[in-house]
Structure 1
């Protein structure tokens, strides 16, 4: 694992919960560190996850355009479900919802745990807005995580004027998703989860 990865993880671990629709890059200097992470001489699958990790770090830094650029690499573009998932999240965060749904995989290894955690989170909340409550219950009561439905819920709430309640609830569900996907991507790329590197 390259030494800069530990430093990047340490910085990203300190950032607050990410908004579902960021307006600015969180730490512009961090972009240069992320894009300069060297790829190993591993096989194509290993290198694909390393590229996906660079894209993930940039997206986690709310540097959506640069994250998108990384994910256009021939090794990951439309070939790696994890990179495609990050691609979908990037488009969701920038507000290109139809494109986001295209890239979100219908099944990913994190989805079982994501559904469990999102279900527990929603169940523990007192949600004032009845329509929002119903849509979030529909999301978490399904038999499998539906990334495309989550895109629709974010879209509807953003386009109808994101209330403080919706902004908090959606950002916290998104945070569960991002942390699980970041752990998975790190483990595939460098052999340790984001959480393990940060601790």
Structure 2
């Protein structure tokens, strides 16, 4: 389903690495040490898409994990905020339209739990006329705030997104793994993802204890798919 995500090799027992052999941890270590993303790409012969893949994997982990929390929390890597800023991505993607680039920034900031900065970037992208993914990121931000009313408003703005079909297909195996078949009825509308059902399912970030891991795994699939779609909107993937 995901083009950018597939740039990371996540085989069990092997440290996550990019398609050219550079380990995700190496990327993070160099960034934490203060190396600029532009210099890092030159040194490791990476593309912006590979950097997005590494940053996404660092936040969301492999298929055995659950990704980030349903509710925002303090960022685990505070030093990353500057790396994820619009000025960084302007240098890496100078030809990308600024509204689309801001949507990418909103997504990367959101998956790394820089909630305020992500919300601001999503709002600015929307103000500048971005209509493909920024409202989706905005809705996720409010769902994780948690503010279900505001989340619903933004998903109404999203409308019937082209991602809902592929996303529904990707989460079916997860939904089939649980005995409660009513969950699928709540989260899928035929062959489409139902974002309003997922808002209700998360119940402002507090699903029942037995369903919380499932909710996080579903959110992880959603974030991977949307990050990939967002990368495509700036000409990557």
TM-score, normalising length from structure 1? 0.79
The verdict on how the C-alpha distance between 1:178 and 1:170 changes in structure 2, with shifts beyond 3 A counting, is: same
Write the distance in 2 (CA, Å) between the matches of 1:62 and 1:72.
16
Write the distance in 2 (CA, Å) between the matches of 1:101 and 1:148.
6
Secondary structure of residue in 1 paired with 2:84: helix
Aligned to 1:188: 233
Report if aligned partners of 1:55, 1:68 keep a CA contact under 8 Å in 2.
yes
Alignment of 1:41-190 (within 5 A): 42=95, 46-73=97-124, 75-77=125-127, 79=129, 80-104=131-155, 105-123=158-176, 125-127=177-179, 130=180, 133-140=181-188, 142-155=190-203, 158=206, 162-163=208-209, 165-189=210-234
Write the distance in 2 (CA, Å) between the matches of 1:53 and 1:117.
22
Secondary structure of residue in 1 paired with 2:75: coil
Secondary structure of residue in 2 paired with 1:95: coil
Secondary structure of residue in 1 paired with 2:80: helix
How many Å apart are 1:126 and its aligned residue?
A: 2.9
Gaps of at least 5 residues in structure 2 are: 1-36, 42-47, 62-66
Gaps of at least 5 residues in structure 1 are: 194-199
Report if aligned partners of 2:186, 2:194 keep a CA contact under 8 Å in 1.
no
Picking from 59, 79, 87, the partner of 1:29 is: 79
How many Å apart are 1:8 and its aligned residue?
A: 5.3
How many Å apart are 1:32 and its aligned residue?
A: 0.9
Picking from 63, 70, 81, the partner of 1:20 is: 70
State which drifts further: 178-187 or 12-21: 12-21
Write the distance in 2 (CA, Å) between the matches of 1:149 and 1:78.
29
Report if aligned partners of 2:70, 2:205 keep a CA contact under 8 Å in 1.
no
The alignment's C-alpha RMSD in Å is 2.4
Write the distance in 1 (CA, Å) between the matches of 2:137 and 2:123.
11
TM-score, normalising length from structure 2? 0.67
Comparing both structures, which one devotes a greater share of its residues to helix? 1
The verdict on how the C-alpha distance between 1:146 and 1:77 changes in structure 2, with shifts beyond 3 A counting, is: farther
How many Å apart are 1:76 and its aligned residue?
A: 2.3
Number of residues of Structure 1 aligned to a counterpart in Structure 2: 180
- Structure of larger gyration radius: 2
Aligned to 1:197: none
